[in-house]
């Protein structure tokens, strides 16, 4: 789903069918005339290209040069995600031994569905699965006023980099919670029952859980179950819908992180359906 993100978005008056002007505005993609969203008269557009360029200027000023970039555009251009993997920033999970890389994802929208911010994640290098840490966004607050402040972006990048080592500990803890093969299936089924993932995705994840693609995932613990999930999301769902993949990834990560820290939550996931 890599798409061209460098298109202009305009704010135009929103009219009724009879031509009467309303108090609302529409964001419109200028090259296709496709409406993207309804906004108030105070809304300011931040063009994707301006934001991406400013972020990459901030990376350069901070000496972060060795990275790869992948961009996803969805809903006709209403949403944009720019994902950066920094090759020179890696850590090793103590309990698992896996090497993981530093990942940041920038998001922007023209339909008010997303705030403009960074999300911190990690890239498992052995399989290129993407992991996320719920509630780890780093806001770029000033751009809501239509201003791109480079110092504000740099502060967000610095804060995310500082938070990265703590993020690693969360997934290391997950690897200490052992489960059986059948318990993995039960957890997935209960997540379906709690509407955290679809039955179709459960089947795809269960297939990987039953037959791990990588020898590193042959262990039976919550971390391995999460990796079965991220393998499906990263390699089967993401190219079709980045936002769906990211949303489900957050739900599963949040659930398994809670279970690794809370015995009651863990036991809830192991209950047989009545």
d(CA 227, CA 1): 22
d(CA 164, CA 133): 10
Question: Average pLDDT of each block of 10 consecutive residues along the chain (274 residues)?
Answer: 81 87 91 93 87 91 91 94 91 84 91 84 86 72 62 83 84 93 96 95 97 92 95 92 92 95 94 70
pLDDT at 41: 81
Q: What is the pTM of this model?
A: 0.86
Pairing of strands 9-15, 21-29: antiparallel
Closest CA to 88 of 74, 99, 72: 99
pLDDT at 264: 94
Q: Dihedral of CA 92/96/101/104: which sign?
A: negative
pLDDT at 152: 79
pLDDT at 244: 92
pLDDT at 21: 85
Q: Where are the alpha helices (DSSP H) in 95-180?
A: 150-174
Residue 111 CB neighbours (<10 A): 18
- Burial of residue 34 (CB within 10 Å: 0-12, 13-18, 19+) is middle
């Amino acid at each position: 789903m890599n798409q061209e993100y460098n298109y202009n978005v305009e704010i135009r008056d929103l009219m009724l069918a009879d031509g009467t002007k309303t108090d609302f505005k529409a964001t419109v993609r200028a090259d296709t005339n496709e409406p993207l969203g309804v906004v108030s008269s105070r809304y300011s557009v931040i063009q994707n290209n301006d934001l991406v360029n400013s972020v990459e200027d901030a990376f350069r000023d901070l000496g972060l040069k060795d990275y790869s970039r992948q961009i996803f555009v969805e809903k006709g251009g209403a949403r944009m995600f720019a994902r950066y993997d920094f090759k020179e920033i890696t850590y090793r999970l103590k309990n698992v031994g896996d090497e993981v890389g530093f990942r940041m994802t920038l998001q922007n929208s023209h339909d008010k569905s997303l705030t403009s911010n960074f999300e911190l994640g990690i890239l498992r290098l052995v399989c290129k699965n993407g992991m996320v840490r719920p509630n780890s966004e780093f806001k770029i607050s000033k751009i809501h006023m239509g201003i791109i402040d480079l110092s504000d972006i740099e502060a967000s990048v610095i804060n995310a980099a500082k938070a990265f080592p703590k993020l690693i500990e969360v997934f290391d803890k997950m690897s200490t919670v052992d489960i059986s093969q059948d318990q993995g299936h039960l957890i997935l089924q209960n997540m379906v029952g709690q509407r955290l993932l679809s039955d179709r995705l459960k089947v795809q994840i269960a297939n990987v859980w039953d037959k791990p693609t990588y020898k590193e995932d042959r262990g039976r613990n919550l971390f391995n179950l999460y990796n079965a999930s991220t393998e499906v999301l990263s390699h089967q769902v993401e190219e079709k819908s980045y936002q769906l993949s990211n949303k489900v990834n957050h739900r599963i990560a949040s659930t398994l992180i809670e279970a690794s820290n809370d015995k009651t939550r863990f036991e809830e996931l192991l209950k047989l359906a009545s």
